[in-house]
Chains A and B, each alone.
Chain A
Amino acid sequence: MSGGYRQQPGGSGPTTRKDGKRVAGKQSFPPPGSGGSRPHMKPRDLDFIPESVGGKEEQPAGSHIHDRARTGTTVGKEIPLVDSNAKVTGQAWYGDDVRLPNEIIGKILRSPHHYARIKSIDTSRVEALPGVLAVATGEDSPHRFGVLPVTKDEHAMAVEKVRHVGDLVACVAAVDEATALEALNLFEIEWEVLEPVFDPKKGLEDADEPIHWRGKYHLSKTNVQKRVFQEFGDRSLVDKPHAESHGKWSMAGVHHGFTEPHAVVAHWGPNGRLQLYTPQQVPHYTHRALSTVLDVPMHQINVIRTFVGGGFGGKSDPFPHEMCAAILARKAGRPVRITFDREEVYWINRGRHPSHIEVKMTADEEARISGFDIDALIDGGGFASFGHVTSYYNGVLATAPYELGSFHYTGARVWTNKPASGAMRGHGAVNTRCAVEVGLDEMAETMQVDPIDLRLANLLPPHSRTISGFRITSNGMREALEKVREGSNWDEKFRQMPLGKGIGIGCGFFISGSGLPIHWDPNRFPHATVHIQVDMDGGVTVHTGAADIGQGSTTAVAQVVSEVLALPIEMIHVRSHESDTSPVDLGSYSSRVTFMNANAAIRAALEIREQLLNAAWEILGYHPDNLVLNDRRIYYKHDPAIGVSYLKALHKAQEDKGSLIASGAYRSPPMGGVHKGAAAGLAPAYSFSAYVAEVDVDVETGMIRCTDVWAAHDCGKALNPMAVKGQIIGSCHMGLGQVLSEKMVYGRTGHLQNANLLDYKIPSVHEMPHVEPIIIESCDPEGPFGAKEAGEGPLLPILPAVVNAVYDAIGIRLRDLPLTPDVVFKGIEKTLKNSDVEDPLDLPSPRLTHSSLQPTLVARAQEHKLRDKARQRTEDTSPYVNGVLFGFDPTIPLEDQVEGWRTATEPDPEQLAELGLAGRAWLKKEQREMGGEN
């Protein structure tokens, strides 16, 4: 008990001395944490402590490994983002707000041609212009870079060829903007104009001069950047369908539309190190690319992530302008700032791929989904970017949440002479998901069953495996569907509303972190690392490389540390801006930050906690198992009066070693199959969501107004419900834009026609429906306190929900996104033409009479509900794989049970003839097979 003390509960006798001071050891207040009347005696917040450790927080999914680390401090509470005060006072510093002394302004010369070879660049007149301090061209940047190591195809500035209008050709830095702009006009360039490709279908064919050349891996002489073939399951099941749906979709490219244009400031410091300020989601990849392009070791570069004014995937590539700024700054010896105009933002793009998607699906007589057949041709634009992954995601992320009899996917991504497509919120999954969910709606219609019941009766249970081998852990899909059905009053509205009013359902499924890091072998490095340092002042400094792009990752990390250490969140200081001080982090993409960083942070915080508890043990004499942390105090579980302050314990712990330092890391468990591409779409957890949308359609004009959305999202555990709701509503907004009004318009000459925010139509406050965010907590066994992602998945369901609602309203299936009024009007006109109806106001609206399948489905859903509940609570731990619904035994490999069951990543020769649009890429041979050069 050395150094310890006891506080005596209040009692008899005087508590103050004659001179007014307190009598030692006699406290007139109830012990802290015991629930006295004064606010600072508030007890542990039992409402936010799980049942399994004695609190009152309900745990429908059972206990969680992190339950013991819960202190009821911040997790699960609606608290403001920790950086929100910086944002509301105008102090948040974004890219263009970095103003270094002596800065000069950089501008980029952009290609006026879609596709052209640069024969010569004469910069002499540029250099002669007074005020110009540095000029750079492709010659200054011979090294290639790219976000994926397998597809490095970008240069800081065009080397040899430009690949789209707006591609970077050269750059200048001058004393002011006017001089820099004037200088751009003095470049003398000779071009050889080449024949461009705009139509992705054309990209599948051989070209005289493919946009990139991949040597022996190049596919014939096409512009195909990546082709994918995946086939799982028993294809014989689809031969005699009871119902089927076949839809050909054309989806326009969409842009992230973040409000902050790209900006970068580069400065080579006095010691020759590069400081690069950039609003990046993924500073680490920029760091790597800079090192390659500049030929400077990584440790000589400090990448400083500024506040990011919206990313959504659009700020996750290493960008050529970042390289340009660094090159110019090195040449000029002064800090260089480059800020984009909105037009340039659209030219650098990386938005969602314009896609041609074909989905065929079939169901058997029991309304089980016997097959998905997906073909996705995606338009990659001029560069690879994340496209390699997108090519996979378009297929494989459709393998859940439903149990499938078979799955067949062909995908191809082609280069075209347009701004490069890349990753955007809901990466790769959004378009296919829309097509699949609308297909299900159509099948339900053919089978005359309720589409929600069709889904409920075909869901994969928790703790199961998809047909492609993804490991599903927690799964709140069923609950999400039930909640939106109830909330929206679905049963009274569906197929029962008058013409022009409709209601529709859509579901979503998304990864929560990518199981395979892009740049390294997970066996050598962890996915995420977080450092915590606690010095004698008691403040906790957390170092993480996670990039807060407004989604609140800094807050999430601060919250989990605050939760574990039972400290007010104001005492947690997250340092995440500089690569010099942050442990390497993969950045904010694939919805990995909450899951991976918060897990790493918990691990580090637990280490600190252990040290504190050991110190308290020494002081109080009670074993840590019997000690409780609550609001800056550690005390004996059974008598809160016996305790020690956090600061005392900290000082005790520091006695011999100074400040407490801990490093926590997260690495995802080994998972997945071994087939080619098995890693794409693998994630340690998956999120699920279901939305119901209600729309009004003006049948005379084709205008669609979405009025209400019930949005249920399974995020495992809402660490901060306010932030989760914000993500859900925000996702609705973005998805609604894609389905109703947003598109990148490439005119007849291949030019991007609407590179500004007036003509690129992001919904305004008036277009926004009322969104009812519904948080589903399935408590993921591996997630931090059970949490999973909530940033991207919620975008997926809104598209199909709206498309399905439009069908419910006017009885027309539209498959051209976005559903701008002219598209809808065209659909209405066509329908009128094909029927006897003259006035659109007399169109029939669809109605539903249930078939005999409906009760079967309801019964099966009911049965599955019990099954899922038992599995979710791990009362039933028997293995479950996709296929059990079709009568397979999950303990025996499926291949051994039925002859037709296969896993293939290349088409059989006899399949070649019947492949879809993108599948045609498989008719081509790689150069090495053709005996080509290299």
Chain B
Amino acid sequence: MSCCLSNSGIPYVDMRAPPRRLWRQNMVGSEHIEMIPSPKKKVWSAQVNGTPVEVLVPSNAVLLDVLRDKVGTLGVKRGCDLGTCGCCTVMVDGNPRLSCLCLAGQVEGSVITTVEGLADGAHLAPIQSCFAEHGGSQCGFCTPGFLISAQALLNENDSPTDKEIACAIEGNLCRCTGYQQIIDSIKGAAAIHRGEVEAAAPASDPHPDPHPEGPEEPNMPPGHAR
């Protein structure tokens, strides 16, 4: 036996005590929870990022696992798997939800938006470009979750106060930024949503600039001058 608790209730760890039984790693009786066989698989369908998907999943599947392993939306991140870090946040019928704590069977048939579904083709959503511009993303692992939480907030409220922003992202954990630049990013995106600021040209937009020729060469090929 590795550790015992003494009769007096005072804890001690007696490692020299003779083993109560030969300590084996494997189970005796039901000393662990059986992992196989897995329950029967069923077809699970939903609309993910605008596309209908149908995949075969076990009955006890968790939405996060389905999205990552079956649907292939690897932008949804697994940080703690227990609902604290918020990296796995996705929008389910417009509500930000922790996909690690959602049974796939409970949200079958719903409309799901992951980080991959925020941009319009190559055109970044304002919240995405603002996260890049304001430094809202450092290592980037928590970013997908923050983006969904923030987008859900902006969908409901395009002029959130600092307090409202904080409450919207209180379920997301960021270890890099200290949240301040994330709040700045959300404020920046809110201004774009309100139409006060024009969205910056998205850098991911397939675009000719920068042409190595430079902007003002007389022999610049057509179509590259701005």
Q: Is residue B46 within 8 Å, beta carbon to beta carbon, of the partner chain?
A: no
Residues of A contacting B216 in the complex (Cβ-Cβ under 8 angstroms)? 29, 32, 40-41, 633
Question: Residue on B with the closest CB to A751?
Answer: B3
Contact of A85 with B141 in the complex, beta carbons under 8 Å: no
The DSSP consensus for interface residues of chain A is: loop
A308 and B139 form a contact (CB under 8 A): yes
Which one of B36, B180, B210 contacts A568 once the chains associate, using CB atoms below 8 Å?
Answer: B210
Complex CA–CA separation, A463 to B117 (angstroms): 54
Please tell me if the beta carbons of B141 and A309 are within 8 angstroms of each other in the complex: yes
Tell me the chain B residues, 23-77 only, with Cβ under 8 Å from chain A.
23-27, 32, 34-36, 38, 73-77
A32-B216, A568-B210 as given contacts; A84 in contact with B140, CB under 8 Å: yes
Q: Are B80 and A756 in contact (CB under 8 A)?
A: yes
A619 within 8 A of B: no
The answer to whether B132 and A186 have CB atoms under 8 Å apart is no
B2, B131, B172, B218 pick with most chain A CB within 10 angstroms = B2
Interface residues of A in 29-51 (CB under 8 A from B): 29, 32, 39-41
Cα distance A84–B77 when bound, in Å? 16
Residue contact A115 to B15, C-beta cutoff 8 Å = yes
Q: Is B11 interfacial (CB-CB < 8 Å)?
A: yes
Find out whether the CB atom of B170 lies under 8 angstroms from the CB atom of A764: yes
Closest to A747 in B: B11
Query: A27–B25 contact, CB under 8 A?
Result: no
Separation in Å of the A164 CB from the closest CB of chain B? Answer: 12
* Whole-angstrom CA separation of A186 from B34 in the bound complex: 11
Interface residues of B in 92-128 (CB under 8 A from A): 114-116, 118-119, 124, 128
Tell me if A726 and B139 are in contact (CB < 8 A).
Answer: no
When C-beta atoms are compared, the residue in chain B nearest to A25 turns out to be B218
Residue of B nearest to A110 (CB): B25
Is the pair B178, A729 in contact by a Cβ cutoff of 8 Å? yes
Asked whether any CB of chain A lies closer than 8 Å to the CB of B206, the reply is no
A261 to B82, CA, bound (A): 13
Beta-carbon contacts under 8 Å, A245-274 to B: 256-261
Q: Are B175 and A114 in contact (CB under 8 A)?
A: no
B142 neighbours in A (Cβ, 8 Å) = 259, 309
Contact of A84 among B81, B131, B214, B215 (CB under 8 A): B131
Instruction: Count A-B pairs with CB separation below 8 Å.
Output: 275
A757 and B82 contacting across the interface, CB-CB below 8 Å = yes
The chain B residue sitting closest to A308, CB to CB, is B139
Of the residues B1, B87, B131, B211, contact of A88 by C-beta under 8 Å: B131
Q: A87-B137, A632-B212, A756-B84 are in contact. Are A191 and B176 (CB under 8 A)?
A: no
The dominant DSSP class at the B interface is: loop
Asked, given contacts A32-B216, A40-B216, A112-B2, whether A757 binds B79 with beta carbons under 8 Å apart, the answer is yes
- One digit per residue, 1 when the CB lies within 8 angstroms of any chain B CB and 0 when it does not, for chain A 101-144 equals 00000000100111110000000010000010000000000000
Is the C-beta of A551 less than 8 angstroms from some C-beta in chain B? Answer: yes
How many residues from A make CB contacts under 8 Å with B? 106
Within 8 A of A (CB), among B133-190: 133-135, 137-144, 147, 166, 169-170, 172-183
A310 at the interface (CB under 8 A from B): yes
Q: Which of A650, A757, A766, A770 contacts B85 (CB 8 A)?
A: A757
Q: Is the CB of B139 within 8 A of A91?
A: no
- List residues of chain B with CB within 8 A of the CB of A39: 226
Q: How far is the CA of A178 from the CA of B37 in the complex (A)?
A: 8
A259 to B173, CA, bound (A): 8
CA–CA, A722 and B22, complex, Å: 60
Contacts of B175 in A (CB 8 A): 256-259, 310, 312, 730, 733-734, 762
- Considering only CB atoms, which chain B residue lies closest to A194 in the complex? B15
Whether B128 contacts A89 by the Cβ 8 Å rule is: yes
Contact A84 B27 (CB under 8 A): no
A533 an interface residue at 8 Å Cβ cutoff? no
Q: Given A195-B16, A258-B139, A259-B79, does the pair A631, B215 have CB atoms closer than 8 Å?
A: yes
A89 to B36 alpha-carbon distance, docked (Å): 36
B75:A32 contact, CB within 8 angstroms: no
C-alpha gap A83/B180 in the complex (Å): 20
**Closest chain B CB from A568 CB (angstroms):** 4
Q: Are B147 and A88 in contact (CB under 8 A)?
A: yes
Assess the B179–A90 pair: CB atoms within 8 A. no
Contact B87 A178 (CB under 8 A): no
- Contact residue among A89, A185, A550 (Cβ-Cβ distance under 8 Å from B176): A550
Whether B26 lies near A187 (C-beta < 8 A) is: yes
B173 to chain A, nearest CB (A): 6
Q: Which of chain B's residues has its CB closest to A721's CB?
A: B135
Task: Report whether B79 and A725 are in contact in the complex, using a CB–CB cutoff of 8 Å.
Answer: no
Supplied contacts A84-B131, A196-B15, 17 more A-B pairs, CB within 8 Å = A7-B218, A27-B218, A85-B132, A87-B137, A90-B73, A113-B2, A115-B15, A169-B25, A193-B15, A259-B142, A259-B173, A310-B138, A568-B210, A571-B212, A647-B214, A750-B13, A768-B180
The 5 tightest CB contacts between A and B, nearest first, are A90-B75, A538-B212, A550-B139, A87-B140, A309-B141
